[in-house]
Amino acid sequence: MQKDYRHLNEIAEPGVFKKWQEVDAVIYAFTDLGIKVAINDEYSGLVYGNEVYDEYHKGQKIKAFIKAVRADGKIDVSLQPEQGNHVFSTADRIFQELEQAGGKLRFNDLSTPEEIRNRFQISKTVFKQAIGKLYKQRKIMITDKGIEIVR
């Protein structure tokens, strides 16, 4: 039986949510703009399609983050934490995957956004920021063939 989400508030009053606040969400619809989510079973929010890097299904429970409450009261939602925190966690994950792959991966700045999205479920922008962070920490080398752990 499909749950009814018509009771959800489409508008949030100022101050109800803080920017980047973590919330419980349930996916209840897919639209041309993106994914509609029920936030804390009280509000309706939208994750824009260009910010979705994985497969999801109706009824799926997820952790989400309040990206913004717009001037019209509608809620923009992200499936990733604030970008700074996301880059740190992504850099750690990429480094772990590098270690598991024997120290080399065939991904770099020249990889396509689709290749990066399929492998890491992140945008190319976040990928480049994460490998840039690892490079500055002298943990990896970036070559024309990919990235490698510095030994």
What is the Cα–Cα distance from 143 to 141, expressed in whole angstroms? 6
Question: Rounded CA gap, 150 and 135, in Å?
Answer: 9
Looking at domain 22-78, which of 2.40.50.140, 3.40.50.1220, 3.40.50.800, 3.40.50.720 is its CATH number? 2.40.50.140
d(CA 149, CA 135): 9
Q: What is the H or E stretch that residue 135 is in?
A: helix 124-136
**DSSP at 51:** G
Q: What is the pTM of this model?
A: 0.62
CA distance linking residue 13 with residue 142, whole number of Å: 47
CA distance 12 to 20: 15
Run means of pLDDT, 10 residues per run, the chain, 151 residues: 80 90 94 95 93 87 92 92 70 92 92 89 86 92 93 82
Q: Which helix (H) or strand (E) holds 114?
A: helix 113-120
State residue 84's pLDDT score. Answer: 59
The CA-atom distances, in angstroms, between 29 and each of 17, 33, 90, 140 are 22, 11, 28, 41
Give the domain 83-149 fold.
Arc Repressor Mutant, subunit A (1.10.10)
Residue ranges per structural domain of the chain: 22-78, 83-149
pLDDT at 12: 93
